[in-house]
A and B are shown apart, each in its own frame.
Chain A
Amino acid sequence: DAKTTQPTSMDCAEGRAANLPCNHSTISGNEYVYWYRQIHSQGPQYIIHGLKNNETNEMASLIITEDRKSSTLILPHATLRDTAVYYCIVSQNSGGSNYKLTFGKGTLLTVNP
């Protein structure tokens, strides 16, 4: 699996947009970009994933650069409950097949009042 690089930590003011960057310069053509987050002492929570087009769901937006070498997760209006470690992971996703997810160190996002 391609390796990802994320900042160790970021801060964001409550109510503002949180933009979390991720570099994945060695991503291959069949690998998706996944974002998960983990709140302290809980299992990771799926946020969003994409291949090459930008994606949006009720939680966040994912912006992938045209060359797919980097992406940004956007939480449009961060709340205190969004404080967590955010993981950017690249992995294949092929129909019913199951490909393992390899976690890096992630970004600790702290949302401040």
Chain B
Amino acid sequence: GAVVSQHPSWVICKSGTSVKIECRSLDFQATTMFWYRQFPKQSLMLMATSNEGSKATYEQGVEKDKFLINHASLTLSTLTVTSAHPEDSSFYICSARDPDRNYGYTFGSGTRLTVV
């Protein structure tokens, strides 16, 4: 089946630094990828839609200057959390869909970000 790889699986950073998370579609090309955030004991919240070769579309309330998304190729999207603060600590998950396969979106394994 379609595979989405996310890296790193966990990261600890100091407050004020930036962190980059990568999301790769391994066996298919994805013109669109989605980024979610999940706080403990809560559901996934969609942050933004990443579009290859164009600007990302952010959900209401998500700061685009803080969460930078780059989708430079058909197999790679990156999310950079800039000037991270402890309240940005969360589980970040990406997803994509293989348009040639008749099933739903495939999700990455997630990145646990802890800002100290």
A contact residues vs B (CB 8 Å cutoff): 34, 36, 38, 41-46, 49, 87, 93, 95-96, 98, 100-106
Contact = CB atoms under 8 A, between A and B. Distances in A.
B109 A49 contact: no
Interface stretch (B13-21, B41-49, B61-69): B41-49
Main secondary structure, interface of B, reads strand
Interface SS majority for chain A: loop
B43 A95 contact: no
B98 to A, nearest CB: 10
Given A43-B4, A101-B95, A103-B45, 20 more contacts: A34-B104, A36-B104, A42-B110, A43-B6, A43-B108, A44-B95, A46-B104, A49-B104, A87-B43, A93-B104, A95-B99, A96-B31, A98-B31, A98-B32, A100-B49, A101-B46, A101-B105, A102-B46, A104-B43, A106-B43
A44 B44 contact: yes
